[in-house]
């Protein structure tokens, strides 16, 4: 595993409280939509496609990247809670016709998960050599917090408190 340090913005518990944006959707679906909306903002040199549980970023001039949002509390020392996502990532890479050799699993940042982790999978090492990449990435939800703070300050006492 290769670990790259990144900054800390919010804890998992902060995210857990703030992610409940659409009362019709689960927290997991809200997180998925949040990640999709952030990725889909910039479509100048790429096409962004949404699947049931993944987001494909398809640049016009290079290979695609799959993003798998997962609203789970990750511990950097123990990734077994992401077994399903790792399996999905491996299958995506092994399915050569999709043309995707990079998969990013994004989860809310927390105190035990503040760094990117590059994962090496033995069967992919044999099959694909160094031509694949799976990363587990801590995703900051600080923009939700900023949006909530902006909306509270713009109310100026005229809004009822959200429960």
pLDDT in tens, 142-158: 655 555 555 455 444 44
With respect to residue 24, please indicate whether it lies within any of the assigned structural domains: yes
Percent of the chain past pLDDT 90, that is, above it, reads: 28
Count of the separate structural domains present in the chain: 1
Calpha distance 116→111 (Å, rounded)? 13
With respect to residue 53, please indicate whether it lies within any of the assigned structural domains: yes
Compute the average pLDDT of residues 55-79.
89
| pLDDT for residue 146 | 58
With respect to residue 120, please indicate whether it lies within any of the assigned structural domains: yes
Compute the average pLDDT of residues 52-62.
90
For residue 26, give both structure tokens: 């689960």
With respect to residue 112, please indicate whether it lies within any of the assigned structural domains: yes
Compute the average pLDDT of residues 39-64.
88
With respect to residue 116, please indicate whether it lies within any of the assigned structural domains: yes
Q: Which domain holds residue 108?
A: 2-142
In this predicted structure, the answer to whether residue 108 has a pLDDT above a threshold of 80 is yes
With respect to residue 14, please indicate whether it lies within any of the assigned structural domains: yes
With respect to residue 163, please indicate whether it lies within any of the assigned structural domains: no
With respect to residue 161, please indicate whether it lies within any of the assigned structural domains: no
């Amino acid at each position: 595993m290769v670990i790259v340090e990144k900054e800390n913005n919010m804890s998992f518990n902060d995210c857990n409280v703030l992610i409940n944006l659409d009362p019709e959707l689960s927290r997991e679906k809200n997180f998925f939509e949040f990640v999709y909306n952030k990725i889909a903002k910039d479509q100048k040199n790429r096409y962004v496609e949404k699947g049931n549980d993944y987001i494909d970023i398809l640049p016009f001039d290079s290979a695609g990247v799959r993003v798998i949002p997962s609203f789970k509390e990750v511990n950097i020392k123990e990734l077994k809670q992401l077994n399903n996502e790792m399996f999905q990532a491996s299958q995506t890479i092994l399915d050569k016709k999709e043309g995707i050799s990079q998969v990013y699993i994004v989860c809310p940042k927390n105190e035990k998960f503040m760094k990117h982790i590059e994962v090496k999978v033995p069967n992919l090492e044999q099959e694909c050599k160094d031509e694949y990449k799976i990363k587990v990435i801590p995703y900051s939800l600080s923009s939700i917090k900023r949006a909530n703070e902006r909306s509270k300050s713009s109310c100026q006492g005229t809004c009822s408190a959200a429960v």
